[in-house]
Structure 1
Amino acid sequence: MNDISNPVLRGFNPDPSIVRVGDDIFIATSTFEWFPGVQIHHSRDLVHWRLAARPLARAAQLDMRGDPDSCGVWAPDLSYADGRFWLVFTDVKRYGATTVNGAKGVSLRDFPNYVVTCDRIDGDWSDPVHLNSSGFDPSLFHDDDGRSWMLNMLWDHRPGQGRFAGIQMQEFDRRTMALVGEPTRIFRGTERGFTEGPHLYKRDGWYHLLVAEGGTGWDHAVVMARSRTLSGPYTVHPDGAVLAGAGRKQGAITRAGHGDLVELADGTPWIAYLCGRPLPGRERCVMGRETAIQPMRWDADGWLRTLAGDARPDPSPAAPPLPAAPWPARLWDGHFDGAQLPEEFQWLRTPFPDRLFSLTARPGCLRLYGRETVGSLFEQALVARRQTCFRFTARTCLSFEPTSFQQAAGLIYYYNSTKFYYLHISTDEGIRLLQLMVASPDQDNILLDVITPLPPGPIELRLDVDGDALAFAWRPSAMAAWQHLPRTYDASILSDEVTCPGLPNFTGAFVGMACQDLSGAAMPADFSTFLYEEGDGRSVPVD
């Protein structure tokens, strides 16, 4: 029997919701401002996982233009009832501020919650139905009496109320797709605070409520409470946290929290939970929050615990006794020869990708149309994939002939509008130039360095990441030697832990391609290749 290597969903994949339907196990995770919305991965043995669907893919389902950084789709919950899948999620439209000039203020936030359904994970999901907007992290509980209930955390913006006001519950009518009756607050949380991410289960006559607490950083934790009646009162688990990485800022798996339970066919409980992998020697998680899984146990007192009873995340739990079920390899050679964007890529916010890119305008190339600035909350021609390991190389070859200093295209290493590195081609006074744009919370402005004039023709751009070391290089053709930029940069700024005060940081680092045209002329750039290669122990730069 093989061990599972946690995290099982590497790179930015937070807030897991897990469900089993027969022999199939599915995990849904948050995508925040990245489109299409929600990632659903599929496994039959808990070892091998594949991306099965991104269900929120139409303008009628999701339009995040204008959503701030780290807003958009939060904490989807995936369940199964009446022969179909149910997905509830939040589309956060405003994050709000808690302080103004150092003084505490009212934190007004918008949290509309929706439900969509489908009879197949990879099918055409329904248009969303709005349920409420009272808080985030919605979930559905389908009781054994045929009734369903929606839970979400309750947001309280009133000064002095602590914002995280506990967990509320309201009946959900699956037939009419509507909430009925009045909401009831069933749990106010523990002294850890930041009570969110509710999930409800029924076992041996007990209702078990699982929540995330402690905030989504180093003190994150999974907490449970139970009651004989659905509406409570709920008694908190005698051990405190069921799972936590609190205080362990170093190690293979930290920041453990926001979990969800699934029961295998043999009755074994497993928990899926978010976690972080800090850079060695640094308290920074450039890959953001990822998803791990491990087995649990129900003890004689009726409470859930880790197998070791220590509430610690397990980096390598033993796999369950299920038949091995590897998926066929999905190999992409890095060339844009197809009519569809390779599955590893996403873009930002807009449900109208045809305005951002085309795979048919110039066959064999991904054409990006120059749109708004890097960091725009509306229409940004940026196509990228997740960073999934500490050491990697990414490179691309592009053809781009800008006619204005307002036009740029190139290779981008991106977290959000305040944190990115962008090696790109532009022009100034008729001279085509290679430039590096850097945004970091450590500086007041976005910096732009002119690197060198460029020869005509296609240009290859490359970046190498080795832990927190980042190096750039370029060359005019595949036969030429790489020209390295003289500096090594700090990759660790593209992490949750490096932030401007008051801004949310809930995603992770991406690497990809971008194109801007601030004149509004939509000057295109054609990318013929994009290669992402995980490292082999090398140090940057690499020749």
Structure 2
Amino acid sequence: MKIQNPVLPGFNADPSFIRVNNTYYIANSTFEWFPGVRIHESQDLVHWNLLPSPLSTTTLLDMKGNPSSGGIWAPDLSYADGKFWLVYTDVKVTEGPFKDVQNYLTTATDIHGPWTDPIKLNNLGFDASLFHDQNGRKYLVQQTWDHREYRHPFNGITLTEFDTKTMKLKPETARNIYNGDDVKLVEGPHLYQINGYYYLFAAEGGTVFTHQEVVARSKTLDKLSFEGEPDGPFITNMDTPDFYLQKQGHGALVDTPEGEWYYASLVSRPWNHATESSHDPRGWSTLGRETSIQKVEWDDQGWPRIVGGHGGQVEVDAPKGAIETKAPKDHSQHDDFDSDKLDLNWNTLRQPFTEKLGTVGNGKLTLVGNHSLSSTFDVSMIARRWQAFNFDAETKVKFDPQRYENMAGLVNFYNDKHYSWIYITRDEERGPVIEIAQNDNNNYTSFLKDHAIQIPAGTEYVWFKTLVRKQSYTYAYSFDGEDWHEIPVELDAAILSDDYVLQNYGGFFTGAFVGLAAVDYAGYGQTAEFDYFDYQELPDPDREKEVHPNQAG
């Protein structure tokens, strides 16, 4: 068997990677999307299955009003003392001199839950992980934030002892163990105890095309005792601009029962418009930051090295003796909404799916119109990740808008300032109509305007479809589900990427979603009824020519 990278396609960033007996788990960031923390499991590192998210209640995670790309940053999953430990950060402020965060801990004896009520740890910095020392002590390891304008904001890696009797940190033990190197932006720390050394893995360079992972080691956990790996970095694509995989860095290490070593890292697969250089801009990563797995060997000086060179490989040998895991062949999804619970692929923004947003079951999804898609509060939308460059998604909707403030339809969404959709609304003179609109950095454009498509009298249902083809996408409609009309409005998919948003402001870290939404910003709660949702992935004709040669260098 071969590991095909990325192993977790579509927005699955900042992997925390562990093994419990013969089973591997990866936990990923979810930012403002609910439920919090995405977990997959595998027994072969090749095929992965999605598990229920642990942060599924507002007791464990309350993100109402969080900014886009706030929320859950870099969770850390570990296993010790017969239970799973999950450390997670809820980021409340993303812009400006401060990063107001809260770090929490929850535990469970079963990966499926239930998870204990959260324990507050500290607010010192983000990307916190829990290290279980072989001597029985435990430590929180975390990026440290510094608001002072005359210092670099990424102020090294702090280690603080955790008292398992009181289940609290001991702040008097806090010390800086590593400052990184001149690349700076040191974050995402994980500690390991291997062959008499403490090894610290940490990310640097920002989670963009200059991203990298470095390794340092020490015999002790004393202040600033760690020395960096010679001939580093451990992994990066900064100097492999033509390779299929980019941005590799932040991640975690695991060993196999057979004594092999693997490293799970975030990764992106940018593409370019035909009119652009492939180096500048390096590209647009509409699938967000995904997860790759690389094989690791140890050199004769005891330093870890990526097999094939620090740029990584697209195809990686699976572990010896791996137990083949059954999993779907791709991430296509059909949902008839028969269950009274949303499928695991669905996410909502910042809060759980409750009757305030809608109901599901008995063959339909009902959404209650609330705030606009530009809100950070009550947004009646369910959405799932883009997990392929090419796919078709469609739905069937019944909606009787009474005002132009009433809208319901099919959405392609990045964040509150970057999205588009095809929807039913009401024109004062012509009644119900179909419109396409895009929000591009808060510049909202209605494309059809006075030529919005009038819905014939007596029409009960309207079918919507989006056709995503890597660099661009379109929308189509039907009044019978068979005769489709593609609307000649071609939209640039790059607008739904981290790389595009970063041109304008802030740090943004998610990826494109497709979903269903209803809006009634007049405040009367107009409802929309969706009959089904279908997401079908299509082959990527560019993949084969892009992945060879397999090795980056």
TM-score (norm 1): 0.94
1:352–1:513 Cα change, 3 Å: closer
- Name the CA distance, whole Å, in 1 between partners of 2:353 and 2:475: 32
Partner residue, 1:466:
469
Q: What's the offset of the Cα at 1:493?
A: 1.2
Shift of 1:504: 2.2
Specify the SS of the correspondent of 1:201: strand
Structure 2: distance between partners of 1:127 and 1:235:
38
Letter matched to residue 227 of structure 1: S
Letter in 2 for 1:126: T
* Identity level (%): 38
Q: Could you list the runs of 5+ residues in structure 2 that have no partner in the other structure? A: 543-553
Distance 1:538 1:428 in 2: 41
Query: CA shift at 1:537, angstroms?
Result: 6.0
Deviation at 1:333, TM superposition (A): 3.6
Amino acid at match of 1:488: E
User: What is the aligned residue count?
Assistant: 523
Q: Distance in 2 between matches of 1:338 and 1:12?
A: 25
Counterpart for residue 190 of structure 1: 181
Structure 2 counterparts to residues 150-169 of structure 1, below 5 A: 150-169=140-159
2:509 corresponding residue in structure 1 = 506
Deviation at 1:177, TM superposition (A): 1.6
Contact (CA 8 Å) 2:334, 2:535: kept in 1 or not?
no
- Measured at CA, do residues 358 and 235 of structure 1 come closer, stay the same or move farther in structure 2, by a change above 3 Å? same
Which letter maps to 1:433? V
Task: Tell me if structure 2 keeps the 8 A contact 1:30–1:76.
Answer: yes
Q: Counterparts of 1:51-200 in structure 2 under 5 Å?
A: 51-97=50-96, 107-180=97-170, 181-200=172-191
Alpha-carbon deviation of 1:248?
3.2
In the alignment, what sits opposite 2:216? 225
Residue 495 (structure 1) aligned with residue 497 (structure 2): yes
- Aligned-pair CA distance for 1:352: 5.2
Amino acid in the other structure paired with 2:497: S
CA distance, structure 2, for counterparts of residue 493 and residue 96 of structure 1: 20
SS in 2 for 1:223: strand
- More displaced 10-residue stretch of structure 1: 290-299 or 325-334: 325-334
Distance 1:344 1:6 in 2: 20
CA–CA distance in 1 between the matches of 2:352 and 2:537?
Answer: 30
TM-superposition CA deviations, 1:446-501 (whole Å, max 9, x none): 1123331112210001111111121111011123x211212221112111110253
Matched residue type, 1:59 = T
Moved over 4 A (4+): 328-332
Q: Distance in 1 between matches of 2:486 and 2:66?
A: 37
Aligned partner of 1:202: which letter?
A: Q
**Structure 2 length as normaliser, TM-score?**
0.92
Distance 2:234 2:189 in 1: 14
The AA in structure 1 aligned to 2:523 is G
The answer to whether the 8 A contact 1:59-1:352 is kept is no
- How many Å apart are 1:96 and its aligned residue? 2.2
SS state of the match for residue 494, structure 2? helix
Unaligned runs of 5+ in 1: 98-106
What is the identity, as a one-letter code, of the residue corresponding to 2:200?
A: L
Q: 1:409 to 1:55 in 2, by over 3 A?
A: same
Q: 1:26-60 CA distances to partner (integer Å, 9 max, x unpaired)?
A: 00000000000000100011111001220000111
Counterpart of 1:385 in 2: which secondary structure? strand
1: CA distance, partners of 2:426 / 2:194: 66
Q: Aligned-pair distance for 1:8? A: 0.5
Instruction: Tell me the distance in 2 between the aligned counterparts of 1:247 and 1:68.
Output: 33
- Give the Å deviation of 1:331: 8.3
Q: Is the 8 A contact 1:141 1:201 kept in 2?
A: yes
Aligned-pair CA distance for 1:529? 1.1
Match of 1:345 in 2: 346
Deviation at 1:112, TM superposition (A): 0.8
What secondary structure sits across from 1:256 in the alignment?
coil
Amino acid corresponding to residue 186 of structure 1 in structure 2: I
Assess, with a 3 A threshold, how the Cα gap between structure 1 residues 250 and 452 changes in structure 2: closer, same or farther.
Answer: farther
CA distance in 1, matches of 2:388, 2:394: 16
Structure-2 separation of matches of 1:487 and 1:397: 21
SS of the counterpart of 2:489?
coil
Give the distance between the partners of 2:307 and 2:519, measured in 1 at CA: 52
Structure 2: distance between partners of 1:13 and 1:422: 24
The CA RMSD over aligned residues, in Å, is 1.6
Taking the aligned partners of 1:8 and 1:280, their CA distance within structure 2 comes to 22
Q: Is the 8 A contact 1:63 1:351 kept in 2?
A: no
In structure 1, the partner of 2:453 is 452
